[in-house]
Amino acid sequence: DAGITQSPRYKITETGRQVTLMCHQTWSHSYMFWYRQDLGHGLRLIYYSAAADITDKGEVPDGYVVSRSKTENFPLTLESATRSQTSVYFCASSGDTSYGYTFGSGTRLTVV
């Protein structure tokens, strides 16, 4: 099915572990984005990508790593998870600047 999918939907991990959140889109959109949403902070941009092999930091990149070897995939890795990274993570994609953003359903991550 066409769209943007995130996996897993829910994840519980322990402090210090590495965890990867997956994002896949089927439109061949150039732009992809990772946001986290926390009470009191709203949506904050972690990393974004303008095309395959082009990534850039957003507002809150510390502790996260991204890669984009293929246009359709944009995984987000927490190298060593901390409790402060407990959050809901949203991936989004967009075509050129005249397009809107489309968001995935989110991944609820709990770090214990």
Partner 1 sequence: KQEVTQIPAALSVPEGENLVLNCSFTDSAIYNLQWFRQDPGKGLTSLLLIQSSQREQTSGRLNASLDKSSGRSTLYIAASQPGDSATYLCAVRLINTGTASKLTFGTGTRLQVTL
Contact residues toward partner 1 (CB under 8 A) are 31, 33, 42-43, 45, 48-50, 54, 56, 58, 90, 92, 97-106
Give least dist CB 96 to partner 1, A: 9
Give least dist CB 29 to partner 1, A: 11
Dihedral angle, C-alpha 84, 86, 88, 94, nearest 10 °: 50
Closest CA to 29 of 8, 2, 60, 61: 2
The residue among 14 and 62 lying less far from partner 1, judged by its C-beta, is 62
